[in-house]
Amino acid sequence: MADRTVPNLPSRDFDATVDFYGRFGFVPTYRDDGWLILKRGSLVLEFFPFPTLDPYESSFMCSIRVADLEELHSAITKAEVPSSKAGIPRLTPIENGSWGQRVAYLVDLDGTQLHLIEHRGD
């Protein structure tokens, strides 16, 4: 296995997290009372329980770099995640980031902001 890093994100309710991410292709690969791992292709997200988290006070975030941003964004849109600049959950439109890459932002049920970034190589 190649070296890698994986974000550890909060979940107020593992069932709700599995349902939310499952709507756009993530599947559980591990779950017990204290840990949840979801996978979509080569993307892996790991979750820990945080039942008292206020999603409007959350400062959790991570970056997800993908070769096909359009495909991921389309899958999330088809899952009927609201397209908006406010609210939880939400998905922003794809835009050009100030650093020269295309980006969208997904905020999940627990207020975690996922930066969806079009990866164009090293």
Structural domains of the chain sorted by starting position, each given as residue range(s) with its CATH number in brackets:
8-118 (3.10.180.10)
pLDDT digits (tens, 9 = 90+) for 60-83: 999 999 999 999 999 999 999 999
pLDDT digits (tens, 9 = 90+) for 108-117: 999 999 999 9
**Mean pLDDT of all residues in the chain?**
94
Q: With 60 as the cut, is the pLDDT of residue 90 above it?
A: yes
Q: What percent of the chain has pLDDT over 70?
A: 97
Q: Evaluate whether 112 touches 62 at the Cβ level (below 8 Å).
A: yes
b/e per residue, 18-41, with b = 16+ CB within 10 A?
A: bebbeebbbeeeeeeeeebebbbe
pTM of the entire predicted model: 0.93
Q: With 60 as the cut, is the pLDDT of residue 122 above it?
A: no
Q: Evaluate whether 108 touches 75 at the Cβ level (below 8 Å).
A: no
Q: What angle do CA 100, 101, 106 make, to 5 degrees?
A: 135
Note the pLDDT of residue 40. 96
